[in-house]
Amino acid sequence: MSYTTSEVRSKFLSFMKEKEHAIVPSASLIPENDPTTLFTGSGMQPMVPYLLGQPHPLGTRIADSQKSFRSQDIEEVGDNRHTTFFEMLGNWSFGDYFKEDQIQWMWEFLIDELKLEPKNFYVTCFKGNDELSIPRDTLSAELWQKLFKGKGLDVKVGENPEVDGIKDDEHIFYYSEKKNWWSRAGVPANMPEGEPGGPDSEMFYDFDGDGTKKMHETSIYKDAPCHVNCDCGRFLEIGNNVFMQYKKTQNGFEELPQMNVDHGSGLERYVAALRNDPDVFNIDVFDKAKEILENRSDKKYGHDETTTYAMRVILDHIRAATFLIGDDVVPGNKDQMYFVRRLIRRSVRFARNLAINDSFTKDIAQTFIDVYKDEYKNLESKKGIIISELEKEEEKFRKTLENGIKEFEKIADADISGVNAFNLLQSYGFPIELTEELAKERGIGVDRVSFDEEKKKHSEESRTASAGKFKGGLGGDGEMEVKYHTATHLLHEALRLVLGDHVLQKGSNITPERLRFDFSHGEKLTDEQKKKVEDIVNDVIAQDLPVIREEVSYDEARSRGAIGLFDAKYGDMVSIYHVGEGKNRGDKNMFSMEFCGGPHVERTGVLGTFKIQKEESVSQGIRRIKAVLS
C-alpha cells in the first residue's frame, strides 16, 4: 500500500505517541550555540545533550520529525536517492528502553503498520571487535531473526556479505565498525576517553525483491558481490537504530550506566520503499514541482539521463533553499548564506540545460510551501520573504550566467588556471564548485590550489583592520563556551533594553575565543548604543547574579515572559534560564529569562569583562555582533 509523505510522518508520530513518547516539534535547520557545524544534519543533533546525560524536560522517551540539511551532499544530488534536505523520523530513549523494545517497535511499525513486505526487508548488525574486546551484537541479530520467523521466514545470518554477497535465505548481516558503529568521533579506535558510542542496526529495503538482482547486473558494480551496502541501487538504507552502550576509558570500553537508543529514519526513503520505487524524486512532495519543470522545458522526467539529472538537482535545491530561507538564512557570501546562494545558482544553471530561461524558482518554491505548510507553518508565514529572496538571487545570477558561460568557453580549451577561476567568481558570480562542474563536463581540470591562493591574496588585500581575528572550532574543556553562552543571554537582553523589544535572537555561534550573535534590527548601531549595551552587560556581571534553570510548561514559560529563539521547536515542557532572582521576566531582581537547554555558569560574576569587537549587517533587517570576554 502507498501512503503520502504527510501520512507516513503522521503515522510514525502517532505510533510513537502510543508507545508513550513525547512528540517534540522539529528544531531549526540552524543549530543553536554549536560552532562545530553550520546546519542541523540529523535528528540526533539537537538531542546530543540528553544522550550525554542532561535530563530532557519532557522525560526519557522523545520522538519527532526533524528537518535536516547536509551541505556535503550537494555534489551527490542527481541520482535517485540523494537529497540535501530531508526529514528524519526519530525516537530516543534516554536510559529507558533498549534493544528489545526498539527492534520490536521498528518491526511493528514497518511491517505491521505500514505493511512493508518482509521478504524485501534486510538488516545489519555489529560484528564486534576482538582487539578492543567489544563483543558482536548477537542480541540484535537474534531479535530480528525471531521477528522474521513470526512471519514465516526462516532467515539466516550472513557473516561476510562484502566478500560472499547475499545468499537467498540471508536477511541479517554482520558488518564491522566502519558500517555498524556510531560515535561522534567515528570508529572505536578514533574515540577519545570519555566519549560514548555503540553498535547500531541498520534497516534496508530491497527493490529487486523477486531476487533477480537486475539492478545490480545492470550497474557499474556488476562484477563485485552484491550486498545491502552495495551502491548498485538495489538496496536502500531506510533507517538506523543506534544503541549507545559503551564509553571509552583509559583501559578500554566499559558499559554506560545509562544506555540510550537513538533511532533515525529517512521519511522520504520510507515513502519510496512503500511505493516500491527506488527514485525518491517520484514521491508525492515533488509531483507539482516536477509538473512545472516538465511544462516549462517541454521535457519529461525520466525520458533521458540528462533531463532527469537536471530536474533532480532543481527539485532538491529549491526545496532546500525554501526551507533554509524559512529558517531565516538568506543568500549571501558567508557561512550558511553561501550554501543558499549556491543552491539557487546551481538550480538556475541546470534550468538553463533544460532551456528554462525565464523566472521559475518562485513557482517551484510555492509548490513546496503548499505541500509542507500544515506541518511547517513558518513556510506560509514567511512566504513573502522566501519568494522575494529566490527571485532576487535568480535574477541577479541569470544576468551574469550567460556572459560567465561565454567567458568560460573562451578559456575551456585547457585546464582552468586559478586566476581565471577566481575571475569567474569575482566577475560572474560563479562559485568555484560551478566552475569545477563545467570543467568536469568538458574533461578538463581546475587548478584549485592556485585558486585558493588567489582568493586568499584578494581577501588579505581587502580585509579591514578588524576582520578575520576570530578562529572557530571547539577547544579546551568547554569552560569558555559555557561562559560565552551565558554572555549571549546578557547581550540579548541588553540589546532589547537599548534598541527596543523588536530585537530577537536570530542565531548564534560560540567558540572558546568569542561569541557571535545575530539579531533583528534594521539599522547600524551607533557608538553610543554599543557603549550602553556593553555597560549594561558589565553591570550585570559585576552584580554577580545567580543563573537559574527551571523546567516548566511551555504556557507557564510564556506567561512569565520568557523569550526564545525558534518558537516552533518547543514542546509541552521546556527548560528556561533566568539571570537573577524572581518569578517573572521584568521583576525587580530579574535581568533576563529565556527558553534554553543550557549549559550556563552558576553566577554572572565569573564572566569577566564584556567587550563588543564588531557590529555588522548580515542581511536585510539582521545585524551581527562579535564580542569577547577578558
Residue 397 to residue 317: CA distance in whole angstroms = 15
Between residues 131 and 428, which one has the greater pLDDT? 131
Question: Cα angle at 371 between 366 and 375, to 5 degrees?
Answer: 120
Instruction: Give percent above pLDDT 90 in the chain.
Output: 63
Residue 389 to residue 397: CA distance in whole angstroms = 12
- Out of 148-152, 443-447, 570-574, pick the least confident: 570-574
Q: How many residues does the chain have?
A: 630
Residue 499 to residue 218: CA distance in whole angstroms = 64
Among 32, 36, 33, which Cα is nearest to 475's?
A: 36
Contact 466, 613 (CB under 8 A): yes
Residue 562 to residue 585: CA distance in whole angstroms = 7
Contact 134, 188 (CB under 8 A): yes
Among 409, 294, 401, which Cα is nearest to 347's?
A: 401
What's the pLDDT band for 465 if we cut at 50, 70, 90?
very low
The rounded Cα 22 to chain-centroid distance in angstroms is 21
Is residue 349 exposed (0-12), middle (13-18) or buried (19+ Cβ within 10 Å)? buried
How many Cα atoms are found within 13 Å in the side-chain-facing hemisphere of 344?
33
Tens of pLDDT, residues 281-323: 999 999 999 999 999 999 999 999 999 999 999 999 999 999 9
DSSP label at 113?
I
Tens of pLDDT, residues 166-220: 988 999 999 999 999 998 788 998 899 888 899 999 999 999 887 778 889 988 8
Residue 505 to residue 547: CA distance in whole angstroms = 19
Tens of pLDDT, residues 312-341: 999 999 999 999 999 999 998 888 998 999
Among 340, 264, 336, which Cα is nearest to 38's?
A: 336
DSSP label at 416?
B
The full DSSP string for 247-275 is EEETTEEEEEEEEEEEEEEEHHHHHHHHH
Residue 459 to residue 469: CA distance in whole angstroms = 13
Residue 284 to residue 268: CA distance in whole angstroms = 10
Residue 496 to residue 513: CA distance in whole angstroms = 25
Torsion on CA atoms 125, 127, 129, 135, rounded to nearest 10 = 80
Between residues 474 and 561, which one has the greater pLDDT? 561
- Out of 132-136, 179-183, 485-489, 618-622, pick the least confident: 618-622
Contact 611, 627 (CB under 8 A): yes
pLDDT reported for residue 467 = 29
Contact 88, 8 (CB under 8 A): no
With a cut of 60, say whether residue 608 has pLDDT above it.
Answer: yes
pLDDT reported for residue 459 = 64
CATH of region 5-280, choose from 3.30.930.10, 3.90.180.10, 3.20.20.70, 3.50.50.60: 3.30.930.10
- Cβ within 8 Å of residue 73, ≥6 positions away: 82, 83, 84
With a cut of 60, say whether residue 587 has pLDDT above it.
Answer: yes
pLDDT reported for residue 466 = 25
Residue 66 to residue 267: CA distance in whole angstroms = 10
pLDDT reported for residue 33 = 65
3-class state of residue 170 by DSSP: strand
SS3 readout for 446-476 = ECHHHHHHHHHHHHHHHCCCCCCCCCCCCCC
* 235 sits in which H/E element: strand 235-249
pLDDT, the chain, mean: 90
Strands 121-126 and 196-206: antiparallel
Contact 269, 285 (CB under 8 A): no
Among 80, 69, 178, which Cα is nearest to 127's?
A: 178
* 480 sits in which H/E element: helix 479-499
pLDDT reported for residue 473 = 25
With a cut of 90, say whether residue 628 has pLDDT above it.
Answer: yes
Residue 266 to residue 107: CA distance in whole angstroms = 16
pLDDT reported for residue 457 = 78
Per-domain residue ranges of the chain = 5-280, 284-401, 412-463, 479-629
Tens of pLDDT, residues 222-238: 889 999 999 898 999 99
3-class state of residue 196 by DSSP: strand
3-class state of residue 374 by DSSP: coil
* Class in CATH terms, 479-629: alpha beta
Question: Cα angle at 531 between 526 and 532, to 5 degrees?
Answer: 100
Exposure string of 603-624, with b = 16+ CB inside 10 Å and e = fewer, is ebeebeebebebbeebbebbbb
With a cut of 60, say whether residue 463 has pLDDT above it.
Answer: no
Among 466, 480, 419, 424, which Cα is nearest to 447's?
A: 419
Contact 15, 113 (CB under 8 A): yes
What's the pLDDT band for 516 if we cut at 50, 70, 90?
very high
Between residues 115 and 482, which one has the greater pLDDT? 115
pLDDT reported for residue 284 = 97
Tens of pLDDT, residues 58-111: 999 999 999 999 998 888 899 998 999 999 999 999 999 999 999 999 999 999
Among 49, 56, 66, 46, which Cα is nearest to 22's?
A: 56
Tens of pLDDT, residues 23-72: 999 999 998 766 668 898 887 878 878 887 888 999 999 999 999 999 98
Question: Looking up cell 540471508, which residue turns up?
Answer: 170
Cell of 91: 525516537
Sign of CA dihedral 514, 519, 524, 528: negative
How many CB atoms are closer than 10 A to CB 470? 15
Tens of pLDDT, residues 439-460: 998 899 999 999 998 888 776 6
SS3 readout for 18-83 = HCCCEECCCCCCCCCCCCCCCCCCCCCHHHHHHHCCCCCCCCCEEEEEEEEECHHHHHHECECCCC
How many CB atoms are closer than 10 A to CB 466? 10
What's the pLDDT band for 511 if we cut at 50, 70, 90?
confident
Contact 313, 42 (CB under 8 A): no
- Cβ within 8 Å of residue 253, ≥6 positions away: 132, 133, 134, 188, 246, 247
What's the pLDDT band for 540 if we cut at 50, 70, 90?
very high
